C-alpha cells in the first residue's frame, strides 16, 4: 500500500507554546486523499461486503471456472449465465 501523506506533504501550525494545533496540506493532496477515501468507501458499503462474502463462499465451495486469456468470450458468457 502506498503512503498517502509524508512529512513533506504537510505543514504543522503551532501555537505560542510550540504545541501542534492544526495541519495544512495542499489542495492537490486533499483531492488525492478524497479520491482514495471514496475508492475505499466503496468496498465498505454493505452491498459490496455482502457480494465479497458470497464470492468467498463460492470460491470455498469450488463454484468457479478457469479460462485462458484466449477464451475470454467463453469467460464472459459464463459470467452472464
Q: How much is the pLDDT for 31?
A: 94
Range of the domain at 70: 7-80
Distance, CA of 25 to CA of 23 (rounded, Å): 7
For the question of whether the overall pTM of this predicted structure is more than 0.75, the answer is: no
Structural domains of the chain, count: 1
In a domain, 58, yes or no: yes
pLDDT digits (tens, 9 = 90+) for 6-21: 888 999 999 999 999 9
Is residue 76 in some structural domain? yes
Q: Which three cell numbers stand for residue 52?
A: 465479497
The predicted-structure confidence for 27-81, as pLDDT tens digits, reads as follows: 999 999 999 888 888 888 899 899 999 999 999 999 888 888 777 888 888 878 7
Q: Is residue 2 part of a domain?
A: no
Q: Which of 25, 26, 24 is nearest to 14 (CA)?
A: 24
Q: What is the distance between the alpha carbons of residues 41 and 33, in angstroms, rounded to a whole number?
A: 12
Q: Is residue 1 part of a domain?
A: no
Amino acid at each position: 500500500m502506498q503512503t498517502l501523506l509524508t512529512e513533506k506533504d504537510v505543514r504543522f501550525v503551532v501555537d505560542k507554546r510550540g504545541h501542534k494545533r492544526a495541519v495544512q496540506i495542499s489542495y492537490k493532496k486533499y483531492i488525492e486523499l478524497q479520491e482514495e477515501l471514496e475508492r475505499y468507501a466503496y468496498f465498505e458499503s454493505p452491498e459490496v461486503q455482502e457480494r465479497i462474502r458470497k464470492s468467498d463462499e463460492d470460491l470455498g465451495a469450488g463454484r468457479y471456472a478457469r479460462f485462458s486469456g484466449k477464451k475470454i468470450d467463453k469467460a464472459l458468457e459464463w459470467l452472464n449465465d
